[in-house]
Amino acid sequence: MLIGGVPGGSARSAPGRQVVNAASVTYQSVSSIGALPILGAEASLARADGPAQGTGPVRVANTSASRPLTATGASMVYDAKDGYVVLFGGYTVNGYSNATWIFENGVWTQLFPKTSPSARYFASMAYDARDGYVVLYGGDNPSVQVYGDTWMFSNGNWTQLHPKNPPSPRYMASMSYDVADGYVVLFGGGSGTGTGFSGTWKFEGGSWTQLTPTHSPSWRYDASMTYDSADSYVLLFGGYGSSGYMGGTWTFSKGNWTQLVPTLSPSAREGAGIANDPKDGFVVLYGGRGAAGYSSGTWTFSGGNWTQLHPVPSPSARADAGMTYNAKDGNVMLYGGDGSSGIMYTGGTWRFIGTAWSRL
């Protein structure tokens, strides 16, 4: 997560973030948690990523000039019904984006739906297997507005939903589909006004409902969360909260949270990529940002325990990359993110199979 000034306004701030503009990047440590950050210079909400024609999305085939731009805070998930990985939005070298890309058969292709969510980063996104579509919620936009809108993506098109009593506007919230319980789970996030959330919500049948678990993680944002199919629960790790970088491991099942105390764990961090790897029977966690800086560590989680791997080669140290399991290709996929010295990665498409990373 990066922070920057807003033309004509004040900067939002958070501890230990980078200040980003189009020309240079410096590292900034902020003692007050304040509000959550935004990225770089303000970009136009009217930016056109391409034409919209006909009744379906226009596709642009992958060329050297047709691939996702360098991005951090983009949302990525596998769309099981349509059979491809979906990448949306993020902060790019051209500013905030509302571009929609798909990855299929080893190729990136940009879609141009007639309607799309507006440009934003750090929106929450998950595939709703029960309802058969991708769900996107919230995010932050260039005008320093935090969103509270709900969208569905299916067959290459976005449709805005208007459920009653949704969660309050937020970004950097954690979201995953809970296979065992049959609904999408959303936890935490930040408001952009100096507050964080500890509420747990479910999305089911097109409606949001706030849950009231007996125990719950403390408020946090930028935590890593996915469904652990081998252990049949939702897994949450880390994030950033009132005590700074966090390292707790939590599970969610049947409406309740349980904190685990593994013998070995990744260090406290936010923004680590995480994905369930059903083929190999474990959850994969990569990277993140903590007190020591950006990480390039790869960890697996299974049976309540973390194990560190040391694969060579490996993606460069980064945080806030998109990461998901590509079921069609049978591997975990990682794209983008931000790293030290202001680098935002795009060379950037990696896959993880077994215990090894390889660059696509």
Give the H or E element holding residue 126: strand 124-128
HSE at residue 278, side-chain half, CA atoms within 13 A, is 13
User: Does the pLDDT of residue 43 top 50, yes or no?
Assistant: no
Helix (H, G, I), strand (E, B) or coil at 227: strand
Q: Cα separations (Å) of 114 from 67, 129, 282?
A: 20, 24, 38
What confidence tier does 142 reach under pLDDT thresholds 50, 70, 90?
low
pLDDT recorded at residue 192: 86
Q: Cα separations (Å) of 14 from 1, 20, 49, 165, 219?
A: 9, 13, 30, 29, 15
Residue 7: cis peptide before it, omega within 30 degrees of 0: no
pLDDT recorded at residue 195: 77
pLDDT recorded at residue 344: 72
**Per the structure block, which two tokens stand in for 85?**
């990985």
Query: Do residues 130 and 141 touch, judged by C-beta distance below 8 A?
Result: no
Phi, psi of 342 (to 5 degrees): 80, 15
> Which amino acid belongs to residue 272?
A
Query: Structural domains in the chain?
Result: 2-359 (2.120.10.80)
Q: What is the pLDDT of residues 55-102, one digit of tens each?
A: 344 433 334 457 798 799 999 999 999 999 999 999 988 889 999 999
Q: Cα separations (Å) of 143 from 17, 41, 46, 140, 172?
A: 20, 10, 12, 8, 17
User: Does the pLDDT of residue 147 top 70, yes or no?
Assistant: yes
pLDDT recorded at residue 184: 98
Return the percentage of the chain with pLDDT > 90, whole number.
Answer: 74
* Residue 11 burial by Cβ neighbours in a 10 Å radius (0-12, 13-18, 19+): middle
Q: What is the pTM of this model?
A: 0.84
Q: What is the pLDDT of residues 162-216, one digit of tens each?
A: 999 999 999 999 999 999 999 999 999 998 887 799 999 999 999 999 999 999 9
Q: What is the pLDDT of residues 206-264, one digit of tens each?
A: 999 999 999 999 999 999 999 999 999 999 999 999 999 999 999 999 999 999 999 99
Scan for tokens 């993020």, then name that residue.
Answer: 90
